[in-house]
Structure 1
Amino acid sequence: MGVTSDSPVASAPKLRRYPPFVRFWLASTVSDFGTYITSVALSVLILVTMNGTALDQGLVNAARWAPYLLFGLVAGVWIDRLPRRTVLIGGDLGRGLILAGVALASAAGVLSVPALVILIFAFGTLALTSDAAHQSLLPQLVPRTLLTKANARLQQSDTVAQTTGGAVAGGLVTLVTAPFALLLDAASYFLSAAVLHTLERPSQAPVHSGQRLHRKVAEGLRWVYRHPYLTPLACSTHIWFVGSSILGTVLPAVILNDLGMGAVGLGLVMGCAGIGAVIGTTVSTRLGHRWGTGRTMVMARIAQPVAIALVALAPVVAGGPRTGESYASPLQWTGDIWVAIALVGTGQLFFGAAMGVEGPLEMGYCQAVTPDGLIARMSATMRSVNRGMIVIGAPLGGLLATTAGAGTALWASFAVLLLASIVLLCSKFRSARIEDQQLTDDEALTR
Structure 2
Amino acid sequence: MPSPRTPRSDSVGGHRDFQRLWAGSVVSQFGSAIGMVALPVIAVAVLDVAAWQVSLLAGVAALTTVLVAFPIGRRIEYTRKRPVMIGSDLLRAATLASLPAAHALGALTYTHLCAVAAVNAVCAIAFTGASQAHLKSLVGPARLIDANSRLESTRWLSVSVGPSLAGALIAALSAVGALVANTVGFLIGALAVRSIREPEPDPPTPPAPGEGTSKRSELFAGLGFVWGHPALRPILISWILFAGASSMAAPLTAVYYMRDLGFSAFEYGLLMGVPSLGGLLGARLVPRLVRRLGALRTLWWASLLRGPWYFLIPFAVPGKVGLLMCGVGFGLVLVFAAAANSAMSGYRQLETPDGLMSRVATLWAFATTVSQPVFILLGGVVAALADARVALLAAAVVMSLAGLLLPRSRSAPERW
Same fold per superposition (TM over 0.5): yes
CA shift in 2, pair 1:39/1:401, >3 Å: farther
- Residue of structure 1 in register with 2:303 after alignment: 301
Deviation for aligned residue 1:170: 4.6
Deviation for aligned residue 1:99: 4.0
CA distance in 2, matches of 1:33, 1:44: 17
CA distance in 2, matches of 1:310, 1:30: 34
- Deviation per CA, 1:119-155: give whole Å up to 9, x if none: 4233212211111001011012111111111111111
CA shift in 2, pair 1:46/1:203, >3 Å: closer
- Deviation per CA, 1:261-314: give whole Å up to 9, x if none: 55x656533432331011101211222232333333233223333333333456
Question: Is residue 20 from structure 1 mapped to residue 2 from structure 2 by the alignment?
Answer: no
CA distance in 1, matches of 2:159, 2:414: 32
CA shift in 2, pair 1:188/1:276, >3 Å: same
Name the amino acid aligned to 1:438.
R
Residue aligned with 1:122, SS? helix
Question: Is residue 416 from structure 1 mapped to residue 413 from structure 2 by the alignment?
Answer: no
- Deviation per CA, 1:359-382: give whole Å up to 9, x if none: 211011011112211211222223
The one of 329, 333, 336 aligned to 1:347: 329
Deviation for aligned residue 1:42: 5.5
- Deviation per CA, 1:61-91: give whole Å up to 9, x if none: 4443333322222222100122211111121
Name the amino acid aligned to 1:269.
L
Name the amino acid aligned to 1:21.
F
Name the amino acid aligned to 1:153.
R
CA distance in 1, matches of 2:99, 2:77: 31
- Residue of structure 2 in register with 1:194 after alignment: 191
CA distance in 2, matches of 1:170, 1:90: 28
- Residue of structure 1 in register with 2:83 after alignment: 86
Deviation for aligned residue 1:115: 6.8
CA distance in 2, matches of 1:250, 1:61: 17
CA distance in 2, matches of 1:134, 1:302: 29
Question: Is residue 134 from structure 1 mapped to residue 131 from structure 2 by the alignment?
Answer: yes
Provide the alpha-carbon RMSD of the alignment: 3.8
The one of 345, 358, 363 aligned to 1:376: 358
> Does the aligned pair in 1 maintain the 2:283–2:339 contact within 8 Å?
yes
CA shift in 2, pair 1:138/1:371, >3 Å: same
Structure 2, gaps ≥5 residues long: 1-5
- Residue of structure 2 in register with 1:285 after alignment: 287
> Does the aligned pair in 2 maintain the 1:66–1:124 contact within 8 Å?
no
CA distance in 1, matches of 2:151, 2:268: 24
**Percent of paired sites with the same residue:** 26
- Residue of structure 2 in register with 1:333 after alignment: none
- Deviation per CA, 1:402-428: give whole Å up to 9, x if none: 78654454334323323322322xxxx
CA distance in 1, matches of 2:76, 2:328: 40
Alignment of 1:100-179 (within 5 A): 100=97, 119-174=116-171, 176=173, 178-179=175-176
The one of 395, 405, 409 aligned to 1:431: 409
> Does the aligned pair in 2 maintain the 1:298–1:430 contact within 8 Å?
yes
Which deviates further from its counterpart, 412-421 or 361-370? 412-421
Which deviates further from its counterpart, 208-217 or 103-112? 103-112
Question: Is residue 274 from structure 1 mapped to residue 271 from structure 2 by the alignment?
Answer: no
CA shift in 2, pair 1:238/1:104, >3 Å: farther
Structure 1, gaps ≥5 residues long: 1-8, 318-335, 440-447
- Residue of structure 1 in register with 2:3 after alignment: none
Residue aligned with 1:437, SS? coil
Name the amino acid aligned to 1:430.
R
CA distance in 1, matches of 2:113, 2:258: 20
Name the amino acid aligned to 1:365.
Y
Which deviates further from its counterpart, 141-150 or 299-308? 299-308
> Does the aligned pair in 2 maintain the 1:58–1:249 contact within 8 Å?
no
CA shift in 2, pair 1:274/1:34, >3 Å: farther
Alignment of 1:203-214 (within 5 A): 203-209=200-206, 210=208, 211-214=213-216
The one of 361, 371, 374 aligned to 2:343: 361
> Does the aligned pair in 2 maintain the 1:140–1:202 contact within 8 Å?
no
- Deviation per CA, 1:208-257: give whole Å up to 9, x if none: 32144322234322210111111111111122221122233444666789
CA shift in 2, pair 1:432/1:246, >3 Å: farther
- Deviation per CA, 1:188-219: give whole Å up to 9, x if none: 22221122222348442222321443222343
Alignment of 1:35-50 (within 5 A): 35-41=32-38
CA shift in 2, pair 1:161/1:180, >3 Å: same
> Does the aligned pair in 1 maintain the 2:11–2:146 contact within 8 Å?
no
CA shift in 2, pair 1:232/1:109, >3 Å: same
- Residue of structure 2 in register with 1:386 after alignment: 368
Question: Is residue 95 from structure 1 mapped to residue 73 from structure 2 by the alignment?
Answer: no
Question: Is residue 240 from structure 1 mapped to residue 242 from structure 2 by the alignment?
Answer: yes
- Residue of structure 2 in register with 1:227 after alignment: 229
> Does the aligned pair in 2 maintain the 1:152–1:360 contact within 8 Å?
yes
CA distance in 2, matches of 1:282, 1:10: 17
> Does the aligned pair in 2 maintain the 1:77–1:376 contact within 8 Å?
yes
What is the TM-score with the length of structure 1 in the denominator?
0.76
CA shift in 2, pair 1:13/1:399, >3 Å: closer
CA distance in 1, matches of 2:339, 2:149: 9
Name the amino acid aligned to 1:195.
A
CA distance in 2, matches of 1:18, 1:296: 25
